[in-house]
Amino acid sequence: MTPGLTAEQVLLLADEFCAAHRVQIRDFGALVAAATVPGAQISGIPVHAGTQAAGRAFAEAVIALEPLSDRNRDFAAVCRKVYLLMYS
């Protein structure tokens, strides 16, 4: 099973990132949606082949959903790095 992050964990990352880079959370729903991506399953079967693929999909979701007012690509890189540090 590929682990995921909780919405609360992603919110903590976003809060720290926003404070450091002077941006704001634009869409809390987008943060929650992005948080679900790494641990996504269908009928109990992970949709990602492993943690590397899940981390990449997590970053892509952040970029696509644009939860912050700016610097979403940078935030996506941070999310991916933290995810991989936690689960690799």
pTM reported for the whole predicted model: 0.95
- pLDDT tens digits, one per residue of 24-44: 999 999 999 999 999 999 999
Helix, strand and coil content of the chain, in percent to the nearest 5, comes to: 60, 5, 30
Distance separating alpha carbons of residues 10 and 6, to the nearest angstrom: 7
* Residue 45, strand partner residues: 42
- pLDDT tens digits, one per residue of 63-74: 999 999 999 999
